Amino acid sequence: MVERSAVRILVLDDDPFMLKLLGRMLANLGFASVALCDSGQAALERVGAAEAAEPNLILLDLNMPAMDGIEFVRHLVGHGYAGSLILVSGENDRIVQAAEKLVQAHGIPVLGRLQKPVHPDRLSELLEKWVPRLDAGPGAAPRIYEAEALRGALRNAEFVNYYQPKVRLADGEVAGMETLVRWHHPDDGLVPPDRFIGLAEASGLIGELTRQVFAASVTQAAAWRRVGLALPVAVNVAMDDLASLDFLDFVAEFTARAGVPPHDVVLEVTESQLMQDTRAPLEVLTRLRLKRFRIAIDDFGTGHSSLAQLRDLPFDELKIDRGFVHGAWADETLRAMYDASLSLAWQLGMSVVAEGVEDRSDWDWVRRTGCDLAQGAFISAPLQAADVPPWIEAWHRRRPAAEPPPRGPGRTTE
């Protein structure tokens, strides 16, 4: 049983009555540290405040007028939030269910959902089962990093690229590697990107980080080519990178010098970032494409792109977010999102990657839909560069795509 007085809870709801009610329920259950916020902005200020300890649990109302619950979660991820969530909503089950998938896709544990009007018994039940990741105190919670530490890490070359394979569903051929950066922290070990990318963006260090990741990735692609592996590499880029013309020159020159064809270099931009402002990035993306680099739209389904934006941006590849892939074969709502994304991408001439293919059921199902490429734990976790060639050999032996695709509706026209 956790010491309830040590647990920090934040309640976010735009309805003042609901806030008070939930606050009172939590106090009655013995939780002493409860912060009440009536807007996403106020809650984010609290989560990001250096002087206050981060909450261990957030009760989140999904429907708020200014910043809705989904957008709030995206910001939380950017802050490297390490606690858990309870989703509170008056919405019908389907919306809450989709929201829950999304939150989990971002790696934040969801204790459960509360339907409005909230019953104290149900709240108490969720909290009973919960073991917060706070253990003995502040030392146990994942560390929040400062910009200065990140600057030092860039100087000391502490960032290491991992590579996750992407394979063709039709025949299992390896189609490329996505570069995923990790921080080899001298004290904390391997730190995942969700805990520092947001900080790098907020502190103006993302440009330098992207360059280091890009340079290492293209250098690695050149090394693989020398041993007969012509593996395309993908690199994640941030909006800030695309706002500068320097970046374009850097990418083009570095790739040419490494002797890697631009066609084998993919730049991935997330859908949610793209929608903030498309003018400056549009120019850089279009010029990259003219130079024969390939451009992918990442985490598709989690942003709010309009059809016009999709039509106007020169994408080659669309990656369906894993929140709409893993388990979609058993969930009608997810499947509807997935199907819509797939046919939209095909109509716009893009090839489609299903992310988050975690098990054989996911694999069989995405294959049956006729999707072009797959990525995920079922195929391989992100690997260190040295482990890539042996993985390829092993995959060729075990790939489950030698047999014809399982029966079912698929792509009929190309």
From the list Ca ion, ligand C2E, none, pick the one residue 198 interacts with, judged by a Cβ distance below 5 to 8 Å according to partner type: none
Give the residue among 88, 37, 38, 94 at the shortest CA–CA distance from 60. 88
Residues in 74-113 at the binding interface with ligand C2E, rule: CB under 6 A: none
Classify residue 377 as exposed, middle or buried by CB count within 10 Å of its CB (0-12, 13-18, 19+): middle
Give the residue among 162, 160, 186, 9 at the shortest CA–CA distance from 88. 9
Instruction: Establish if 322 lies at the interface with ligand C2E (CB under 6 A).
Output: yes
CA dist., res. 29 & res. 250, Å (int)? 57
Asked if 310 and 341 touch (Cβ cutoff 8 Å), the reply is no
Instruction: Establish if 282 lies at the interface with ligand C2E (CB under 6 A).
Output: no
Please spell the DSSP secondary structure of 188-199, one letter per residue: TEEE-GGGTHHH
Separation of first and last alpha carbons in the chain: 58
Instruction: Establish if 241 lies at the interface with Ca ion (CB under 5 A).
Output: no
Instruction: Pick the closer one to Ca ion by CB: 91 or 355.
Output: 355
CB proximity list for 152: less than 8 A, separation 6 or greater = none
CB of 161 to ligand C2E, least distance (A): 8
Q: Which helix (H) or strand (E) holds 205?
A: none
Residues in 337-396 at the binding interface with Ca ion, rule: CB under 5 A: 355
Instruction: Pick the closer one to Ca ion by CB: 113 or 319.
Output: 319
Asked if 160 and 181 touch (Cβ cutoff 8 Å), the reply is yes
CB of 105 to Ca ion, least distance (A): 9
Residue 37 token pair: 């916020």
Instruction: Establish if 382 lies at the interface with ligand C2E (CB under 6 A).
Output: yes
CB of 181 to ligand C2E, least distance (A): 4
Instruction: Establish if 220 lies at the interface with ligand C2E (CB under 6 A).
Output: no
Instruction: Establish if 236 lies at the interface with ligand C2E (CB under 6 A).
Output: yes
Residues in 295-324 at the binding interface with Ca ion, rule: CB under 5 A: 298-299
CB of 30 to ligand C2E, least distance (A): 34
Instruction: Pick the closer one to ligand C2E by CB: 4 or 211.
Output: 211
Q: Which residues are near ligand C2E by CB under 6 A?
A: 164, 180-181, 192-194, 197, 210, 213, 236, 238, 298-299, 322, 356, 358, 376-377, 382
